[in-house]
């Protein structure tokens, strides 16, 4: 009995930080309709800044209650100010842009914060300070419970109550509620919308920072906190319902309990349990426990040009490019070939992703799951079945497709930012399964010794194999978009109402497209595994998904040839930046700059500038 | 009466506390052109959305060609032979005019999962014939995102005709057009309805169009039918005159 009670209390205490982060995320989304992917980074900053302030305040004012608690509060306030700054400098300019732009911009912020944190606090995990007078544990019916957990248990309801007072008893709160219900209405009320949004960003980031700072005595600070909490916060927000603070609380408590009791039965897979809860909730209530449907799926669409048949000049250009690539081993060294292999594989990955993002109109933020799925499928076959390379490369795509089929079934029920968050959360779950299931997947150590068959073991031979596979894959994807299937997919994006009214099952079209896209991503992953000779969980990590997004985005979402240009640009840029100290920071700034300055992407820019030389004339998109 | 293309029986829908449509019952016969008129907010669009499944009715049933289609999704009702146009035009902006029609034809021929063919080369002649029929064949290669409003309405009509419908639902098909253009479009619609015995239900604010083309007029006000019958009868109905404040029904000249 005492054991169960303590377990429940432990669950409640772990719900606290999660609730704070999710509440901030939900609040920001409710008012601005921006899903702040950098929210996890604010949480991480809260922890690191809190750590420093506790030490500084401790030296200044003695190590009492006042110093400790005011340090945590100040840390949260500073994070709130950083959030407001991000809103003013970046997001304010892109509220009216398609949601992809906002997601990419906030991802740029993630990169910048990662590097700044590394630079400021170093790479090692830091232990959190103990709260004064809250060391040790109390006994509850003979079972120990850390004293600090009591603080966390209280924090959730207290913040919820303060929130309720703020939203219901203040003018700011009334505006927030009005904006959450109807964004246009706020403008009509004559409110200064810009400052309302900045205020909301401050408050949301403050909550994330507070969440990070409050968990210090339990969890300390490390550089993986940002993505770690992001996936969990997405699950909470999806389960609770976007824009609903009470929903976030309910969901955080639910997930907290699940984790507390889940570790007793399946200690290795609490994330999988989370996924199961989310899956059940989504099937029963697609917009979350307390969410309302009208809040999602109103993202602005990009206006594409119609697909035109490729002109002969463009075809000749493409042929020349392929010929140059075939001949590349003649004039490229080993290092250049390795780079080119990476570019080709990532171009295939990006083209597969682009099919979903562009013509499909669905921003998948978890495509690394299928890239990594293909890589692991090939590697596992080598390890456990000893099958030859050619067979493994044939089997990698269907394996990845199977994964995409299962995950896609859930994801296509939703659209817009919900789709982005769901795909990311699912990818994170796949990653954690691979990461934690060490006996089969090798866990963090990965799987080694994935070498090409003898006939392809020479670098040049493998390069040609990659070139052949990727060219074929990219052409197949391109053809698919020109096929009736691809048109029907695009019709569903252009106007779901019209598509359904001419007999198109939009969801099914998207589901099949998602699966096919997963298959091509899987082929890229399989090729990648053999190119590196090994597979690590990194191939499935969020960073890989973001790479794909950025390649698509750099290239320009509206261009079929965009992913190619994007893959080349990003790989080249990374190769260049990797040698520098703070490459993430520079990459992040580059991403933000592209969002703000070249919204039509590289290929779009080239098309607008030079398109007429190859017989392409921009129509709608520029 | 058997043989009706459309029968609505006690349709009702409320949003929050507001009853947008209350117990609507009516039928449309093959080849019959019926106008559903009423002031803004009367519930006409809501009614259309329930007929083709875009909205789920709170109560009541819909029958198309004798089959109960209540609760069916729009795509399934479309396959039964219903085409529709929307008050806010719904075409595919990143498609050309011809491709919009081709898309509907591809769906009609159940080729939505064909990944091998080329959509651009499919059903070219049939698409051209439909565009010819609505008089925009010269716009075939234009991107829809760039068309004038009146032309978009014609594209939408061509798309709605792609499945050889037995019933056309047209929500304000001529809104935003010049008066001469409006009459021409309805002329065209009437001709198609007569030739192929398509039942047409349309809403319209232009009384010239309504009285010039409808076989029957139904007047809706605050979610209910307040009058229904041949044009002459409806025009003289005192309740209808009260709703329309008399004036706008008068300038009709036959
Ligand atoms: N999705 C909706 N949510 C809430 N109210 C709606 C919705 N759609 C229509 N209404 C309301 O229902 C009533 C009928 O609207 P509508 O069917 O569009 O009228 P009409 O087409 O005759 O102008 C109006 O009062 C309108 O405000
Ligand atoms: Mg209407």
CATH number at residue A351: 1.10.3470
Instruction: Give the residue carrying structure tokens 């009334």.
Output: A174
The angle that helices A601-610 and A542-555 make with each other, rounded to 10 degrees, is 10
Residue pair B34/B170 in contact by the 8 Å Cβ criterion: no
Q: Are residues A354 and A228 in the same domain?
A: no
The residue count of chain A comes to 622
Interface A-B, measured as beta-carbon pairs within 8 A, has a size of: 119
Q: What's the CA gap between A328 and A400, in Å, rounded?
A: 30
Same domain? For A487 and A597 the reply is yes
Give the residue among A421, A432, A410 at the shortest CA–CA distance from A515: A410
Please judge whether B92 and A490 are an interchain contact, meaning their C-beta atoms are less than 8 angstroms apart. Answer: yes
Return d(Cα A536, Cα B45) in angstroms, integer.
Answer: 56
Say what the pLDDT of residue A245 is: 86
Which residue did the predictor score with more confidence, B128 or B240?
Answer: B128
Is B203 inside any structural domain? Answer: yes
How many structural domains does chain B have? Answer: 1
Q: What is the mean pLDDT of chain A?
A: 86
Residue B234: name the closest of B248, B249, B221, B223 by CA: B249
Burial class (CB in 10 A: 0-12, 13-18, 19+), B29: middle
Confidence of residue A419 (pLDDT cuts 50, 70, 90): confident
Q: Which CA distances in Å does A606 have to A551, A552, A598, B201?
A: 15, 15, 11, 49
**Which of A360, A487, A500 to mutate: most B Cβ within 10 Å?**
A487
| Token pair listed for B178 | 């010049």
HSE value, Cβ hemisphere, 13 Å, CA-based, for A92: 17
Least confident of A54-68, A130-144, A531-545, B223-237: A130-144
CB contact under 8 A, B143 and A484: no
pLDDT of the residue at A622: 40
Q: Is residue A291 part of a domain?
A: no
Q: Which residue has the higher pLDDT, B59 or A263?
A: B59
Task: Tell whether A150 is covered by a domain.
Answer: yes
Q: Is A293 among the domain residues?
A: no
Q: How far is CA A479 from the centre of its chain?
A: 28
Please report the pLDDT score of residue A364 as a whole number. 92
| Pair (A200, A335) in one structural domain | no
pLDDT band for position A615 (cuts 50, 70, 90): low
Share of chain B above pLDDT 90, in %: 75
Q: How many Å lie between the centroid of ligand 2 and the Cα of residue A272?
A: 47
Decide if A295 is inside a domain: no
The pair phi, psi for residue B4, each rounded to 5°, is -70, 140
Same domain, A274 and A323: no
Select the residue of B79, B119, B146 nearest A483 (Cβ to Cβ).
Answer: B119
Quick one: residue A54, left, alpha or beta (phi over 0 = left, psi -120 to 50 = alpha)? alpha
- Is B152 inside any structural domain? no
Confidence band for B254, pLDDT divided at 50, 70 and 90:
very low
Secondary structure element (H or E) that encloses residue B89, with its range: none
Please give the Cα distance from B89 to B147 (Å, whole number). 12
Q: Which of A85-99, A260-274, A357-371 has the weakest average pLDDT?
A: A260-274
Contact by Cβ (8 Å): A338, A530: no
Work out the mean pLDDT of chain B and round it to a whole number.
90
Gyration radius of chain A's alpha carbons: 25
What is the pTM assigned to this prediction?
Answer: 0.88
**CA–CA dist A499, A510 (Å, integer):** 12
Identify whether residues A139 and A255 lie together within a single domain: yes
In a domain, A306, yes or no: no
* B222 CA → ligand 2 middle, Å: 13
Residue A294 and residue A418: Cα distance in Å, rounded?
A: 12
d(Cα A11, Cα A16) in Å, to the nearest integer?
9
Cβ-Cβ contacts under 8 Å for A576 (sequence gap 6 or more):
none
Flag whether pLDDT at A25 surpasses 70: yes
A323 and A467 share a domain?
A: yes
Chain A residues close to B143, C-beta within 8 Å:
305-306, 619-620
> Whole-angstrom Cα distance, residue A536 to residue A447?
7
CA-to-CA dists, residue A556 to A104, A252, A263, B180, angstroms: 12, 37, 44, 43
Specify whether the CB–CB gap between B63 and B6 falls below 8 A: yes
pLDDT digits (tens, 9 = 90+) for A533-569: 999 998 898 888 988 988 888 777 766 677 888 888 8
What is the reported pLDDT for A267? Answer: 66
Please state the atom number of ligand 1 nearest to the C-alpha of residue B21: 14
Determine the distance in angstroms separating the CA of B31 from the nearest CA of chain A, rounded to an integer.
21
d(CA A285, CA A571): 41
- The three-state secondary structure class of B242 is helix
Residue with CA nearest ligand 1 atom 26: B41
* A498–B contact, CB cutoff 8 A: yes
Pairing mode of beta strands B33-37, B199-203? parallel
| Residues A285, A291, A294, A300, CA torsion sign | negative
Q: Do B143 and A498 touch (CB under 8 A)?
A: no
The token pair that represents B12 in the structure block: 């009702």
Residues of A in contact with B52 (CB under 8 A): 501
pLDDT at residue number A299:
47
Place of tokens 């950083």: A82
User: What span, in angstroms and rounded, lies between the C-alpha atoms of A340 and A330?
Assistant: 13
Range of the domain at B19: 6-91+164-245
Identify which ligand lies nearest to the alpha carbon of B18: 1
Q: Widest CA span of chain A, in angstroms?
A: 81
Do A303 and B93 lie within an 8 Å CB cutoff?
A: yes
Does residue A392 lie in a domain region?
yes
B204-213 tens-digit pLDDT:
988 888 998 9
- Contact residues on chain B for A486, CB-CB shorter than 8 A: 115, 119
Name the residue with higher pLDDT: B216 or A7: B216
Element (H, E) at B235: helix B231-235
The encoded tokens of residue B95 equal 């498609």
More confident position, A288 or A270: A288
The residue contributing the CA closest to ligand 1 atom 5 is B15
Are A223 and A94 contained in the same domain? yes
| Phi/psi of residue A613, nearest 5 degrees | -70, -30
Environment class of residue A507 by beta-carbon count within 10 Å: exposed (0-12), middle (13-18) or buried (19+)? middle
Does any domain span residue A261?
yes
Task: Classify residue B82 by burial, with Cβ atoms within 10 Å: 0-12, 13-18, 19+.
Answer: buried
**Residue that is last in its domain, among A284, A299, A330:** A284
Helical spans, DSSP H, in A437-559: 438-441, 459-482, 484-494, 496-501, 506-532, 542-555
B1, part of any domain:
no
Percentages (nearest 5) of helix, strand, coil residues in chain B: 40, 25, 35
Distance CA B102, CA B144 (A): 13
Give the separation between CA A139 and CA A23, rounded to whole angstroms.
Answer: 31
Residue B99 within any structural domain of the chain: no
Instruction: Name the residue in chain A with its Cα closest to that of B86.
Output: A498
Task: For residues A591 and A104, give the distance between their C-alpha atoms in angstroms, rounded to a whole number.
Answer: 7
ipTM: 0.93
Phi and psi at residue A598, to the nearest 5°: -120, 60
Please give the DSSP secondary-structure letter assigned to residue A447. Answer: E
Q: Which of A284, A299, A324 is the last residue of a domain?
A: A284
**CA atoms of A579 and A582, how far apart (whole Å):** 9
Ligand that comes closest to the CA of residue B171? 2
- Answer whether B196's CB lies under 8 Å from B15's CB: no
The boundaries of the domain holding residue A138 are: 2-284
Residue A562 token pair: 């965009």
d(CA A366, CA A353): 10
Instruction: Please report whether residue A621 resides in a domain.
Output: no
Using the Cβ of A1 and the Cβ atoms of chain B, whether some distance falls under 8 Å is answered with no
User: Does residue A353 sit in the same domain as residue A462?
Assistant: yes
C-alpha A297 – ligand 1 centre gap (Å): 20
Q: Is residue A422 domain-shared with residue A538, that is, in the same domain?
A: yes
The residue whose CA is least distant from atom 27 of ligand 1 is B41
The pair of structure tokens assigned to B120 is 């651009």
What is the spatial distance between Cα A342 and Cα A544, in angstroms, rounded to a whole number?
13
Task: Compute the distance between CA of residue A265 and CA of residue B104 in angstroms, rounded to an integer.
Answer: 53
Question: Which DSSP string corresponds to A88-133?
Answer: HHTGGGGTTS-HHHHHHHHHHHHHHHHHHHHHHH-SS-BPPPPPTT
Dig out the tokens for A480 from the structure. Answer: 């698919």
Q: How confident is the model at residue A24 (pLDDT cuts 50, 70, 90)?
A: very high
Q: Are residues A347 and A219 in the same domain?
A: no
Q: Which residues of A222-244 are buried (b: 16+ CB within 10 A; e: fewer)?
A: bbebbbbbbbbbbbbbbbbbbbb
Best to test chain B binding among A473, A486, A502, A616 (most B CBs inside 10 Å): A502
Contact with chain A for residue B253, Cβ under 8 A: no
Is residue B213 within 8 A of residue B186, CB to CB? The reply is yes
Bridge partners (DSSP) listed for residue B233? none
User: Is B70 a domain residue?
Assistant: yes
Ligand 1 centroid to B43 CA: how many Å?
Answer: 6
- Residue B1 contacts residue B26 (beta carbons within 8 Å): no
Chain A interface includes B148 (CB < 8 A) = no
Decide if B212 is inside a domain.
yes
B72 assigned to some structural domain? yes
Alpha-carbon span A524 to A486, nearest angstrom: 21
Q: Is residue B216 part of a domain?
A: yes
Q: In Å, how far from its chain's centre is CA A488? A: 27
B1 vs B63, higher pLDDT:
B63
DSSP per-residue letters across A322-357: HHHHHHHHHH--HHHHHHHHHHHHHHHHHHHHHHHH
Q: Is B162 on the interface with A (CB under 8 A)?
A: yes
Residue A248 scores a pLDDT above 60: yes
Residues whose CB falls within 8 Å of the CB of residue A4, separated by 6 or more in sequence, listed in order? none
Index of the ligand 1 atom closest to the CA of residue B47: 17
Q: What is the pLDDT of residues B116-137, one digit of tens each?
A: 999 999 999 999 999 999 999 9
Name beta bridge partners: B28.
B6
State the average pLDDT over residues A364-392.
93
Same domain, A322 and A256: no
From the CA of B99, how far away is ligand 2's center (Å)? 27
Residue among B15, B122, B9 at smallest CA distance from B69: B9
List CB contacts of A323: < 8 A, sequence separation 6 or more. Answer: none
Closest ligand 1 atom to Cα of B220: 22
Q: What spacing in Å lies between the alpha carbon of B3 and ligand 2's midpoint? A: 28
Alpha carbons A397 and A405: distance in angstroms, whole number: 12
- CA nearest ligand 1 atom 12, residue: B20
With contacts defined as CB-CB under 8 Å, which chain A residues touch B111?
484
Overall number of domains in chain A: 2
| Alpha-carbon distance A517 to nearest alpha carbon in chain B (angstroms) | 13
Q: Does the structure show a pLDDT above 70 at A479?
A: yes
Plot region of B23 (φ>0 → left; ψ -120 to 50 → alpha; else → beta): left
- Residue A514: its chain B contacts at CB < 8 A? none
Q: Please check whether residues A574 and A438 belong to one and the same domain.
A: yes
């Amino acid at each position: 009995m005492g054991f169960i009670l303590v377990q429940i209390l432990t669950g409640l205490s772990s719900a606290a930080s999660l609730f704070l982060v999710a509440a901030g995320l939900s609040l920001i989304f409710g008012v601005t309709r921006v899903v702040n992917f950098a929210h996890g980074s604010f949480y991480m900053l809260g922890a690191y800044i809190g750590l420093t302030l506790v030490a500084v305040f401790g030296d200044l004012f003695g190590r009492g209650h006042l110093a400790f608690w005011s340090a945590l509060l100040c840390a949260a306030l500073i994070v709130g100010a950083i959030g407001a700054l991000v809103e003013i400098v970046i997001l304010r300019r892109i509220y009216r842009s398609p949601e992809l732009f906002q997601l990419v911009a906030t991802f740029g912020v993630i990169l910048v914060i990662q590097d700044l944190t590394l630079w400021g606090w170093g790479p090692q995990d830091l232990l959190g300070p103990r709260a004064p007078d809250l060391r040790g544990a109390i006994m509850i019916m003979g079972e120990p419970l850390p004293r600090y957990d009591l603080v966390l248990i209280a924090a959730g309801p207290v913040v919820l109550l303060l929130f309720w007072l703020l939203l219901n008893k203040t003018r700011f709160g009334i505006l927030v509620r009005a904006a959450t219900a109807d964004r246009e209405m706020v403008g009509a009320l004559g409110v200064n919308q810009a400052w309302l949004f900045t205020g909301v960003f401050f408050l949301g980031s403050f909550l994330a920072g507070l969440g990070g700072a409050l968990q210090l005595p339990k969890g300390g600070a490390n550089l993986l906190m940002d993505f770690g909490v992001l996936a969990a916060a997405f699950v909470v927000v999806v389960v609770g319902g976007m824009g609903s603070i009470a929903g976030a609380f309910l969901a955080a408590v639910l997930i907290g309990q699940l984790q507390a009791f889940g570790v007793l039965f399946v200690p290795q897979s609490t994330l999988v349990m989370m996924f199961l809860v989310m899956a059940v909730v989504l099937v029963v209530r697609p917009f979350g426990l307390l969410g309302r449907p009208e809040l999602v799926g109103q993202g602005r669409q990009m206006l594409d040009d119609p697909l035109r048949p490729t002109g002969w000049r463009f075809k000749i250009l493409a042929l020349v490019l392929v010929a140059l690539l075939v001949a590349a081993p003649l004039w490229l060294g080993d290092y250049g070939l390795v780079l080119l292999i990476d570019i080709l594989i990532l171009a295939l990955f990006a083209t597969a992703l682009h099919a979903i993002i562009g013509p499909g109109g669905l921003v998948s933020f978890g495509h690394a799951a299928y890239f990594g799925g293909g890589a692991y499928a090939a590697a596992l076959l080598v390890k456990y079945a000893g099958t030859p390379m050619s067979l493994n490369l044939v089997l990698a795509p269907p394996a990845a497709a199977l994964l995409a089929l299962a995950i896609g079934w859930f994801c296509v029920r939703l659209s817009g930012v919900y789709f982005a968050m769901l795909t990311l959360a699912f990818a994170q779950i796949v990653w954690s399964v691979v990461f934690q299931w060490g006996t089969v997947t090798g866990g963090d150590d990965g799987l080694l010794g994935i070498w090409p068959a003898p006939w392809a073991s020479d670098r040049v031979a493998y390069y040609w194999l990659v070139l052949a596979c990727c060219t074929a894959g990219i052409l197949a994807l391109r053809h698919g978009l020109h096929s009736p299937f691809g048109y029907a997919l695009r019709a569903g994006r252009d106007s779901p109402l019209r598509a359904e009214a001419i007999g198109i099952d939009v969801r099914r079209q998207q589901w099949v497209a998602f699966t096919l896209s997963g298959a091509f991503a899987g082929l890229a992953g399989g090729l990648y595994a053999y190119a590196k000779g090994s597979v690590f969980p990194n191939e499935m990590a969020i960073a890989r998904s973001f790479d794909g997004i950025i390649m698509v985005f750099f290239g320009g979402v509206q261009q079929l040839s965009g992913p190619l240009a994007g893959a080349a640009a990003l790989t080249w840029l990374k190769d260049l930046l990797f040698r520098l100290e703070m490459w993430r920071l520079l990459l992040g700034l580059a991403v933000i700059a592209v969002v703000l300055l070249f919204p039509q992407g590289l290929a779009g820019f080239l098309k607008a500038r030079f398109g007429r030389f190859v017989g392409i004339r921009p129509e709608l998109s520029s | 009466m058997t043989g009706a293309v459309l029968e609505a029986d006690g349709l009702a829908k409320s949003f929050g506390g507001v009853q947008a449509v209350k117990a609507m019952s009516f039928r449309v016969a093959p080849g019959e052109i019926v106008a559903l008129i009423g002031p803004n907010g009367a519930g006409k669009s809501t009614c259309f959305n329930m007929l083709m499944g875009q909205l789920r009715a709170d109560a009541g049933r819909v029958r198309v060609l004798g089959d109960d289609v209540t609760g069916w999704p729009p795509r399934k009702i479309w396959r039964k032979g219903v085409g529709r146009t929307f008050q806010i035009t719904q075409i595919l902006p990143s498609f050309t005019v011809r491709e919009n029609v081709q898309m509907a034809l591809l769906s009609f021929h159940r080729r939505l999962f064909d990944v091998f063919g080329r959509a651009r080369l499919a059903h070219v002649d049939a698409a051209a014939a439909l565009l010819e029929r609505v008089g925009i064949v010269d716009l075939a290669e234009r991107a829809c995102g760039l068309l004038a409003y009146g032309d978009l309405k014609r594209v939408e009509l061509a798309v709605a005709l792609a499945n050889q419908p037995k019933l056309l639902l047209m929500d304000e098909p001529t809104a935003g057009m010049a008066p001469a253009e409006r009459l021409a479009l309805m002329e065209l619609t009437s001709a198609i309805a007569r030739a192929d015995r398509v039942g047409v239900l349309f809403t319209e604010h232009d009384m010239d169009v309504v009285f010039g083309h409808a076989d029957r007029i139904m007047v809706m006000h605050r979610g209910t039918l307040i009058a229904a019958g041949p044009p002459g009868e409806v025009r003289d109905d005192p309740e209808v005159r009260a709703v329309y404040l008399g004036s706008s029904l008068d300038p009709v000249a036959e």
